[in-house]
Amino acid sequence: MSKFAGGLFGGGSSQMAELRAQQAEQARLIAGALRDGSRLALLQLRDSDADETAGRLELLSHPDLAPGILEALAATLDAEQDY
């Protein structure tokens, strides 16, 4: 598991924050909702350009990842169509 995930999902510490400051990662949030109520959020991490980890990707998910975004996406599916 990424060092980032520990701070994101709890269990973080000042030591974790210090590690995060030293290890920059690019991140993408991917979120989706279906009309049947299914929802999923993924966090794609890419390590910095450090030689030993260049190009490495990590994909994380968690039930509490981006609940507001998932709720907003689901709400667009419940809205009446205006076409």
Q: What is the pLDDT of residues 6-47, one digit of tens each?
A: 444 444 567 666 666 666 668 899 999 999 999 999 999 887
37: tokens are 């109520």
Inform me whether the pLDDT recorded for 83 exceeds 90: no
Residue whose structure tokens are 């039930």: 63
CA distance 14 to 25: 18
Q: What is the torsional sign of CA 4, 6, 11, 15?
A: negative
Three-state DSSP class for 41?
Answer: strand
Give the pTM: 0.59
Partners of 11 in the β-ladder = none
Phi first, then psi: what are they for 28, rounded to 5°?
Answer: -125, 140
